Structure 1
């Protein structure tokens, strides 16, 4: 993405991988030198290309965790 600076501070895990090698990951990412936030999106193998994703604060991630913990996935 042109003009957007990012740094993956910490990889928390891989959710899935496509046949082309792109991985949907949960990372802690600093965007444009700002405080790092949790981020879920697809990344190319070299992390030089990315898909659309969602960025969450710690509070939003906690709320998402609560929602997922209370879901019946059966």
Structure 2
């Protein structure tokens, strides 16, 4: 039996890419099951009616990633 969950996109931050069918890879702040929002990277169908598998990051994880990416210059 599939587990039900809820989500609310609290802030749409960036569209990273879009494919020919209109699905977009987005960076958003998303609250899952009423929990505090996390940074979320995943593919979304138009109007956010469907989603693909994704990755969520806490504020601390996002800061670590941001620091690492800054060193790649």
> What TM-score bracket applies, with the shorter chain setting the length?
over 0.9
SS in 1 for 2:56: strand
Q: Which has the higher helix share?
A: 2
Residue 55 of structure 1 corresponds to 56
RMSD after superposition? 1.4
Structure 1 stretches of 4+ moved >4 Å: none
- TM-score scaled to structure 1, two decimals? 0.91
Residue 11 of structure 1 corresponds to 12
- TM-score scaled to structure 2, two decimals? 0.92
Structure 2 unmatched ranges of 5 or more: none
Q: How many residues align?
A: 72
Structure 1 unmatched ranges of 5 or more: none
